Structure 1
Amino acid sequence: MRNIKMTVEYDGARYLGWQRLGDSDKTVQGKIENILSNMTGEEIEIVGSGRTDAGTHAHGQVANFKTESVMTLEAMQEHLNRYLPRDIVVKEVLDVPDRFHARYHAISKKYSYYIWNNTVPSAFERNRSFHVSDELNYSLMHQASQKFVGRHDFLGFSSLKKSKKSTVRTIESIKIIEHGNLVQFAFVGEGFLYNQIRIIMGTILAIGAGRMQLEDIDAIFTSGIRAQAGETVPAHGLFLDEVYYEEV
């Protein structure tokens, strides 16, 4: 039995997210599994590093699957990219140790959120960034972003309800990189709660536009109340860039 690791790139605009949903053929996982099952003659189930929501994109989603197939890695990759829709691409296929698990062995992830900051929207970036027409204070947004770095209880910056599961997470870094009107907010962390990045982004943008204050972040960490934070910005500005792994 072989264990195959794939790195996958996709434009999530047409999909209901990564994770397979019943009989729906509108998920990235479902599309890949259907082709792998036809290719190998086996019932293939792939394990992703984590879910991405409807509309979210990926430069480097990682998944693995088990198979008895003796096909070469090159033949697998060529077959997948021939039959997958053009908005899903398998960038790399590797044989890995049997114990490798795409989700359980991930130690951190990098996500990027993109905004298009101009009074005029972009025809080309409309599905890959969030249009923000406000004049933004980038110095304040940098200060705001650094308040989220470190280990915190992010309950107030997620869509989760209070439960027995821990909402404490560590964000290793947040960087703001300007590419002209296209602005990238790069997050690296051990893992993220449901909608955590999109709510943090809504809060940072509200501070940059003068609708919230820096001190509000500390108050939300203390209260854990979601309603006090910024809006949940749209999914189409979010990319899963890379997944980092421990040695296995």
Structure 2
Amino acid sequence: MKRIVLGVQYDGTPWRGWQTQPDGKTVQDKLEFALQKFTEGKVSTICAGRTDAGVHALEQVVHFDTLLARDLSSWVRGLNAFLPSSIAVRWACEVPYFAATAHVDGNQQFHARFSATARTYHYLLYNHPVRSPLMVNKVGWAFRPLNLENMQQAAEHFVGTHDFSAFRAIECQARSPIRTMHELSIKSSGDLIVFTLRANAFLHHMVRNIVGALVFVGNGKQAPDWIVDLLLQKDRSRAAPTFMPDGLYLAKVEYDQKWNLPQQQSAILPWL
């Protein structure tokens, strides 16, 4: 048995998120269909972080187990031959595999989700009175002017270890709302505002809920210190609505260097 790891990039616009659904219209369904075609057998995949409908990935990390022996380049070319144009395998590598009956420390077995040490997301926001048809499905949109300095001031309150209950979806299944935000930066380039969030892990809808709150601060509906109150109150109903998924990108998943993954510099959007 071999454990293969893939770096997968996708445009989430046509798909109902990552996780498999009965109608088969998800990224996981399409990837597993390609694996079935290429390996002539059923293959189950595990990803680093499930993305919602309309959310994109610059570098999703996926692993699966197989008995099939193929060159790493063959995994890339072979799977891409069966994938739609909105999904592509960018790289493949093999990591050590231990059978379930083997007595090994959990740290010795690579797992796309549980071995990850940090994750980075970008949110792209187009701030202009008129929407751009050229950016549809690729950016969020705010038509009211946003105060960048106020949003940056508010963003500082998120950094550190906090209870993010006010920023998790009601249906979130995480056992704990405690997360550590390593970085939350906001930069502008013309009418485009880029939010970069790096944390040990994220709750369901956490990034979109944070962006929604920061937009409330940016358009003057709330003061920057409002974020402190939300974190302390731990009440989702007091926060801003969940922001649209269009501008959200899973940019990078970090792992210990011992796994020697051929990850690309995907933490920076290539067109910025």
Structure 2 length normalisation: TM-score?
A: 0.87
In the TM superposition, what are the counterparts of 1:173-188 in structure 2 within 5 Å?
173-188=183-198
C-alpha distance in structure 2 between counterparts of 1:71 and 1:120, whole Å:
50
Give the aligned length. 247
C-alpha distance in structure 1 between counterparts of 2:70 and 2:77, whole Å:
11
- 1:40 corresponds in structure 2 to 39
- 1:8 corresponds in structure 2 to 8
Contact 2:174 2:203 (8 Å CA) reproduced: no
- 1:56 corresponds in structure 2 to 55
1:12-62 alpha-carbon deviations (Å, 9 max, x no partner): 0111100112x3220101101111112112210011011100110000100
- 2:267 corresponds in structure 1 to none
- Is 1:136 aligned to residue 135 of structure 2? no
In the TM superposition, what are the counterparts of 1:38-117 in structure 2 within 5 Å?
38-98=37-97, 99-117=109-127
Shift in alpha-carbon separation, 1:224–1:124, aligned structure 2, 3 A: same
C-alpha distance in structure 2 between counterparts of 1:47 and 1:97, whole Å:
16
The Cα shift of 1:177 comes to 2.2
Which residue identity is paired with 2:46?
V
- 2:216 corresponds in structure 1 to 206
Which residue identity is paired with 2:86?
D
- 1:20 corresponds in structure 2 to 20
Contact 1:155 1:162 (8 Å CA) reproduced: no
Moved over 4 A (4+): 161-164
C-alpha distance in structure 1 between counterparts of 2:223 and 2:207, whole Å:
19
- Any gaps of 5 or more consecutive residues in structure 2? 98-108, 260-272
The Cα shift of 1:161 comes to 6.6
1:172-213 alpha-carbon deviations (Å, 9 max, x no partner): 001112222121100000001111111110110100100012
C-alpha distance in structure 2 between counterparts of 1:162 and 1:60, whole Å:
23
- Is 1:152 aligned to residue 162 of structure 2? yes
- Any gaps of 5 or more consecutive residues in structure 1? none
1:79-103 alpha-carbon deviations (Å, 9 max, x no partner): 1112200000111111112221101
The Cα shift of 1:72 comes to 1.3
